[in-house]
Structure 1
């Protein structure tokens, strides 16, 4: 009898942990017990939660008179506004397949309160319906991500079968160093296995069709350890390049948007609607693409090679029209 009761208490607790709203009457009918017995089971759960308050993140089973049911509340649960923000980021990133996205969102829902879950579903329903994933050449971006994380942690040399921009397939032997996310895509940052100069290479993870782990391991000196934060500050569109300081004039509508896009940017001069900005960036195709995207709002001042690259690109564009 005691074992049956213990099983029942554990089952109720499991259902509460998974975000279920547990009606007193239905539980009593399901287990063929009285409502008072259900109340005693819930009291036993609350005794356990009180004794292990720190472990269980101040969780407590409360009774909702509106729903006539028991609900588990915890500091660990996401608030609806927190969950809504996370789901919006996932939907906006578009980096996961629709199946993976739905699976992640479904799991996140279980960590919010039950009362407003219906409202949350209504708010994100249309965006989920119109969700369009970016095209992927691998079976699962999530699986690739986790496998690469484990290889980075274990310092394992790997070979990847990779589709280049021109859709040609190559095999590269690499020392994986870091993972980044930028503009819809996850990137693997790695060094060629035989590269003694340690020049970083970028690979879109959704284009990695196969990963082979070798039995050999590697070590990276501190000077060659990859700094993801530094790359995020200075890189645009994940194009590699040397670190340089640029200066440009901006006369557009949103100066703040430029400062947000270039975290190292500083305003060194302002004159009416024009601002002179300096920033440390990776000098490559990425920064040229960004500056060109601002149209006539931007005039590059320094360095001279960047000015020349901008002029050459503008001349090519002009010939198209």
Structure 2
């Protein structure tokens, strides 16, 4: 295979890889070869993919008069990639160099013209991107934790809090990982005693991690659902699980239902939701005069006391 042929085959392969549709006549004219030569190139690429165990046929689309690598054509489209990158950038979940690599990988799935458009519209977001104050990469730790959760292993971690620099090893049974408000969190149960609910640890504050596959909790741990837990928690604060009823008089009922997935509208402007106590209190207080807690009575009294305490700061 001569240099021109190698360049031509690689160019065709890269275009197929990017999801681009290729017209045989146009490609033949571009490289100044016959259509039969281009067909042989297509066949070589198809044979190579089959040898690699990749089930991805190169198929002809009669309406477009182009050939497509079927599996590559089903990958993310530019509009989806753009939406995804905007969410990623807003999350600030990764260091800037990591974010650049992730976005470059996403954009690399589309053809060159589309890639240039996305690079241009995202350039301002990328140049202004700021790392979080922690400035710590958590990607490797996330993957380690995910594997320990999958294998149902206990772990020993050294964890530090923001205002408490002491480092005390803790043995935990990890059950889930959740992302919320800029940070990744580990959801885990204590192993030395049976808690009423799991504990939440910010993953960037884990100083070290050791697998403890032979260690077992002192009690049976029930099935844990990340999605059910996420639906009931606000601002990653746990507290007792309870059912609350409240009245909302703000401008958007939809915003309430989106913020609290377990909420259901009873009638008029009254809602009921199953939530964890501490976090939901923070959100309820953030709604100002648009929220009134109706029940339970103890939680209503707690809200009233908190509001009075806040008011006293302005006396």
* Alignment TM class, shorter chain as reference: 0.7 to 0.9
Pairing 1:191-270 to 2, within 5 Å after superposition? 191-197=189-195, 199-218=197-216, 224-270=222-268
Work out whether 1:308 is the aligned partner of 2:306: no
For each residue in 1:254-312, what CA deviation from the matched residue of structure 2 results, as whole angstroms up to 9, or x when unmatched?
11101111111111121xxxx111111112x2111000110011111111111111111
Alignment of 1:1-321 (within 5 A): 11-12=10-11, 15-16=14-15, 19=18, 35-36=33-34, 39=38, 42-45=41-44, 47-48=46-47, 55-59=54-58, 74-136=72-134, 138=136, 140-170=137-167, 171-197=169-195, 199-218=197-216, 224-270=222-268, 275-283=269-277, 285-321=278-314
What is the deviation of 1:75? 2.7
- Number of residues paired by the alignment? 300
Distance across 2 between alignment mates of 1:43 and 1:113 = 18
Determine the C-alpha separation between the residues in 2 that align with 1:51 and 1:84.
32
Rounded Cα–Cα distance in structure 1 between residues aligned with 2:196 and 2:135 = 27
> Matched residues in 1 for 2:80 and 2:273: separation?
33
Please report the RMSD computed on the Cα atoms of aligned residues, expressed in angstroms: 3.6
| Aligned-pair CA distance for 1:225 | 2.3
Q: Is the 8 A contact 1:159 1:211 kept in 2?
A: yes
CA distance in 2, matches of 1:111, 1:221: 48
Distance change in 2, residues 1:130/1:290 (3 Å): same
Q: Report the Cα offset of residue 137 of structure 1.
A: 6.2
| Unaligned segments of structure 2, at least 5 residues | 62-66
SS of the equivalent of 2:224 reads coil
Contact 2:158 2:208 in 1 (8 A): yes
1:93-137 deviations in whole A, cap 9, x for unaligned?
111111111110011112223331111112221112222232336
Q: Give the TM-score, by structure 2 length.
A: 0.81
Structure 2 Cα separation of the partners of residues 59 and 218 of structure 1:
51
Q: Partners of 1:127 and 1:206 in 2: how far apart?
A: 24
Secondary structure, counterpart of 2:112 in structure 1: coil
Contact map agreement 1:49 1:58 (CA 8 A) in 2:
no
Indicate conservation of the 8 Å contact 2:266/2:272, yes or no: yes
- For 1:264 and 1:61, the matched residues in 2 are separated by 48
Inter-CA distance 61–188: structure 2 relative to 1 (3 Å threshold): farther
TM-score (norm 1): 0.80
Q: CA deviation at 1:198?
A: 6.8
Q: Specify the alignment match of 1:65 in structure 2.
A: none
Structure 1 gaps of 5+ residues are: 29-33, 63-69
1:156: how far off? 2.4
